[in-house]
Amino acid sequence: MNIALLEPLGVPTETIDELAAPLKAAGHSFTYFGTKTSDPDELVRRSAGADVVMIANNPYPAEVIRQCNELKMIAVAFTGIDHVGLDACREQGIEVRNCAGYSDTSVAELTLGLTIDVLRHVAEGNAAVRNGGTSAGLMGREIAGKAVGIIGTGHIGTQAARLFKAFGARVLGYARHVHPEAVEAGVEFVDLDELLSQSDIVSLHLPLNTETRGWFDADKISHMRSDAVLINCARGAIVDNDALANALNSGQLAGAGIDVFDMEPPIPADYPLMQAKSCIFTPHVAFLTEEAMQRRAKIEFDNVVAYAEGRVQNVCTL
pLDDT tens for each residue of 36-45 = 999 999 999 9
Summarize the confidence of residues 263-271 as an average pLDDT: 95
Choosing from 42, 95, 188, 264, the catalytic residue is 264
Query: Which member of 97, 179, 284, 296 is catalytic?
Result: 284
**What pLDDT score was predicted for residue 312?**
97
* pLDDT at residue 274 in the model: 96
Dist CA 144 CA 127 (whole Å) = 26
Distance, first Cα to last Cα, the chain = 23
Residue 153: what residue type? Answer: T
Given the residues 155, 235, 295, 296, select the one marked as catalytic: 235
Give the Cα separation of 172 and 227 in Å (integer). 17
Q: Please report, for residues 60, 82, 154, 278, 285, the alpha-carbon distance to residue 57 in angstroms, rounded to integers and kept in the order given.
A: 9, 9, 20, 29, 12
Q: Count the Cβ atoms, other than its own, within 10 Å of residue 311.
A: 11
In terms of DSSP H, where are the helices of the chain?
Answer: 13-25, 40-47, 62-65, 86-92, 104-120, 122-130, 155-166, 180-184, 192-198, 218-222, 241-250, 290-308
pLDDT per residue over 168-223, tens digit each?
999 999 999 999 999 999 999 999 999 999 999 999 999 999 999 999 999 999 99
Distances (CA, A) of 119 to 146, 229, 309: 11, 8, 50
Quick check: 233 and 260 in contact, CB under 8 A?
A: yes
**235 given a catalytic annotation:** yes
SS3 73: strand
Long-range contacts of 161-164 (CB under 8 A, 24+ apart): 161/185, 161/186, 161/187, 162/108, 162/186, 163/108, 163/109, 163/111, 163/112, 164/112, 164/115, 164/201
The whole-number pLDDT of residue 52 equals: 98
* CB atoms closer than 10 angstroms to residue 231: 26
What percent of the chain clears pLDDT 70, i.e. is strictly above it? 100
CA distance 44 to 58: 14
Please tell me whether residue 56 adopts helix, strand or coil conformation: coil
Q: Is 284 a catalytic residue?
A: yes
**pLDDT confidence tier of residue 63, bands split at 50, 70 and 90:** very high
